[in-house]
């Protein structure tokens, strides 16, 4: 990448002139807001003034004169080193970017994401884990990792005992119940239990029957799982999400005992008030492996999950795309894994996303305060249809075509509205903001990409980016495009699809400015026309690739 090449030239020059060794990590390059300061700027001369015994201006002047390169011009100004890319550099770098080549790495990453709960509708609260997780998977796959995506389904626990109690107590046929019916039964249980606390014990009793393999309890539970998975698959299809493995918590029931015994043998677990805990000292609160009644916990199942993943895939990196409210649980889990000697704590990353919230507070299935994702997506598609109806560019399309376009535009709007924000930020759910189809939005990017594609479809030239003399709008597009590899590296390092989303928006804005100022049909010469078409091709390819990594589809037209 160009930044590395610039850093290496600065490093070589400093060693040659002053016999000073500087690491590449200590050389910061910034992209100046004021373009009169060049495309990149370095302030290293200020830091070396004392050591060299010269002013920053003198050092910068001497270094600038020493650096020679065909890809950039180095200038000094007030102690700063400013670098301007040449047209030939832009041509070379854009061609490299458009190959979209990455080296295959001999590394495996296991990613835990989505993880909805059985017998509950897919809520908007699970959207973040699902689409941020899929985007991170796509980023690492593009970067050459062997990726394993796992949907750790919430299909086990006392809540299913409560559901079984409701179904039996009300004499319901589980085959006739929808997932929304099951969710209502769960909400109803907690409303009734407020006045009848003894119901909680009934819920525990039914879950104990399920744990013990009671045929009736197992049959009802299996029906609930099957119904839920059918609904989840519909949502995943709409979201363009494909997860490699769907493995529920129940899968680990027969794997917990071995983990508990290992924790005892290694002195990681100890008894406390009849329970079995992992004590971390004063660092963090203890985690419970076994309750005082001998029952296992969510923490026990998660430990068994890690053990299974270590044994099966032995990954170098474990990523958990789970809400920020699970920070303590994740810290306890990662620390325990290290104490057991399975992996280092540094091999784990918790992508702790912020939460979706309603204007009047947090969502809660227990209280019936949640928004179903299917309803959100349906609303988005309806809004997209209205825009298609009002569009002057869509032309004559059938109802079937309109629905296909609306699906990609509507779902794209929902996904991009989330992905453009850093995963740590909470999102206050607002219908109007979520479905704004103007400005920095999914539909804006889709429209820009299709605008470029429609131009290219009208010409049959073989596009070979050959730059002669670039105008400012043309340079602006290309200078943004060449940052693709750097943005991908940042997104991988920081687990931030938002880096790619905001890069895509910058490319789209600069492309539209170029398109408006330099129409292809108004090119003065054939050479200018080919150059503008080539830039259009580069803009389209980078937008298409970026949106693909974010999991956003391009419709055929808009």
Planar angle of CA 478, 482, 488, nearest 5 degrees: 140
Q: What's this model's pTM, rounded to 2 decimal places?
A: 0.91
Structure tokens at 59: 């050092």
Say what the pLDDT of residue 362 is. 52
Say what the pLDDT of residue 517 is. 93
**Does residue 361 register a pLDDT over 60?**
no
| Interval 364-381 mean pLDDT | 73
Q: Are strands 108-112 and 146-153 parallel, antiparallel or unpaired?
A: parallel
Tell me if 39 sits within 8 A of 31, measured CB to CB: yes
The rounded distance, in Å, linking the Cα atoms of 159 and 221 is 11
**Does residue 425 register a pLDDT over 80?**
yes
Tell me if 352 sits within 8 A of 324, measured CB to CB: yes
Residue span(s) of the chain under CATH 3.30.1360.70 come to: 2-85
Radius of gyration of the chain (CA): 28
- Tell me: the pLDDT tens digits for 514-544? 999 998 888 888 888 888 999 999 999 999 9
Output the CA–CA distances (angstroms, integers) from residue 122 to 42, 153, 486, 488, in the order listed: 49, 12, 35, 30
- What integer best gives the mean pLDDT of the chain? 91
Say what the pLDDT of residue 36 is. 86
- Cβ neighbours of 43 (radius 10 Å): 15
Structure tokens at 265: 């043998």
The candidate with the shortest Cα–Cα distance to 3, out of 85, 94, 98, is: 85
Q: Which CATH class is domain 373-550?
A: mainly alpha
The rounded distance, in Å, linking the Cα atoms of 329 and 41 is 43
Residue span(s) of the chain under CATH 3.40.50.620 come to: 108-362
DSSP category for residue 124: G
Say what the pLDDT of residue 431 is. 63
Confidence of residue 430 (pLDDT cuts 50, 70, 90): low
- Tell me: the pLDDT tens digits for 170-193? 999 999 999 999 999 999 999 999
Confidence of residue 2 (pLDDT cuts 50, 70, 90): confident
Confidence of residue 354 (pLDDT cuts 50, 70, 90): very high
Say what the pLDDT of residue 360 is. 56
- Tell me: the pLDDT tens digits for 264-279? 999 999 999 999 999 9
**Does residue 261 register a pLDDT over 90?**
yes
- Tell me: the pLDDT tens digits for 115-130? 999 999 898 888 999 9
Q: Which CATH class is domain 2-85?
A: alpha beta
- Which residues, 6 or more positions from 457, have their beta carbon under 8 angstroms from its beta carbon? none
- Which residues, 6 or more positions from 436, have their beta carbon under 8 angstroms from its beta carbon? 413, 417
**Does residue 394 register a pLDDT over 90?**
no
Q: Are strands 348-353 and 317-323 parallel, antiparallel or unpaired?
A: parallel
Element (DSSP H or E) covering residue 177: none
**Does residue 315 register a pLDDT over 90?**
yes
The rounded distance, in Å, linking the Cα atoms of 166 and 160 is 10
Burial of 329 (0-12, 13-18, 19+ CB in 10 A): middle
The candidate with the shortest Cα–Cα distance to 357, out of 128, 133, 125, 132, is: 125
Structure tokens at 455: 């131009």
Say what the pLDDT of residue 396 is. 75
Give the CATH number of domain 108-362. Answer: 3.40.50.620
Judged by average pLDDT, the poorest of 119-128, 250-259, 407-416 is 119-128
Tell me if 232 sits within 8 A of 116, measured CB to CB: yes
| Interval 137-157 mean pLDDT | 97
């Amino acid at each position: 990448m160009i930044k590395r090449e610039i850093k290496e030239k600065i490093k070589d020059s400093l060693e040659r002139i002053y016999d000073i060794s500087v690491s590449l990590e200590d050389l910061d390059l910034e992209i100046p807001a004021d373009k009169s300061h060049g495309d990149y700027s370095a302030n290293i001369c200020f830091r070396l003034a004392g050591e060299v015994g010269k002013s920053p201006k003198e050092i910068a002047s001497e270094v600038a004169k020493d650096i020679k390169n065909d890809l950039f011009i180095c200038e000094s100004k007030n102690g700063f080193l400013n670098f301007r890319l040449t047209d030939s550099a832009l041509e070379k770098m854009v061609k490299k970017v458009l190959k979209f080549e990455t080296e295959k790495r001999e590394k495996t990453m296991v990613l835990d994401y989505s993880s909805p709960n059985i017998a509950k509708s897919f809520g908007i609260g699970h959207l973040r884990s699902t689409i941020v997780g899929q985007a991170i998977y796509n980023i690492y796959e593009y970067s050459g990792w062997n990726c394993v995506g796992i949907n750790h389904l919430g299909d086990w626990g006392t809540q299913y005992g409560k559901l079984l109690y409701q179904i039996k107590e009300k004499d319901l046929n589980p085959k006739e119940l929808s997932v929304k019916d099951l969710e209502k039964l769960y909400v109803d249980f907690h409303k009734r239990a407020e006045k009848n606390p003894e119901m909680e014990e009934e819920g525990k009793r039914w879950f104990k029957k399920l744990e013990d393999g009671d045929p009736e309890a197992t049959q009802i539970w299996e029906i609930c799982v099957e119904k839920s998975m059918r609904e989840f698959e519909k949502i995943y299809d709409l979201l363009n999400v494909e997860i490699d493995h769907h493995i529920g918590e129940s899968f680990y029931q027969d794997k917990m005992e071995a983990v508990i015994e290992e924790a005892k043998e290694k002195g990681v677990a100890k008894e406390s008030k009849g329970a079995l805990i992992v004590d971390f000292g004063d660092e963090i609160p203890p985690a419970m492996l076994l309750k005082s009644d001998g029952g296992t916990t969510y923490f026990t199942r998660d430990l068994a999950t890690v053990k299974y993943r270590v044994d099966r895939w032995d990954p170098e990196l474990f990523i958990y795309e789970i809400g920020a409210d699970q920070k303590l649980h994740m810290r306890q889990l990662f620390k325990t894994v290290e104490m057991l000697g399975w992996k280092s704590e540094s091999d784990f990353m918790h992508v702790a996303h912020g939460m979706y919230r309603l204007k009047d507070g947090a969502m809660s299935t227990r209280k019936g305060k949640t928004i179903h994702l299917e309803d959100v997506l349906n609303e988005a598609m309806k809004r997209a249809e209205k825009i298609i109806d009002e569009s002057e560019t869509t032309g004559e399309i059938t109802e079937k075509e309109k629905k296909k376009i609306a699906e990609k535009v509507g779902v794209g709007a929902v996904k991009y509205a989330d992905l453009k924000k850093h995963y740590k930020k909470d999102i206050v759910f607002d219908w109007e903001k979520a479905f704004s189809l103007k400005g920095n939005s999914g539909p804006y990017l889709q429209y820009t990409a299709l605008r470029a594609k429609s131009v290219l479809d009208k010409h049959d030239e073989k596009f070979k980016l050959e730059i002669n003399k670039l105008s400012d709008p043309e340079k602006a597009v290309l200078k943004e495009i060449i940052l693709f590899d750097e943005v991908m590296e940042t997104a991988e390092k920081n687990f931030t699809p938002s880096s790619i989303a905001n890069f895509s928006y910058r490319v789209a804005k600069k492309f539209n400015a170029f398109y408006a100022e330099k129409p292809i049909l108004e090119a003065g010469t054939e050479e200018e026309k080919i150059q503008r078409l080539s830039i259009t091709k580069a803009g389209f390819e980078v937008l298409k690739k970026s949106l693909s990594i974010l999991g956003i589809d391009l419709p055929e037209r808009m």
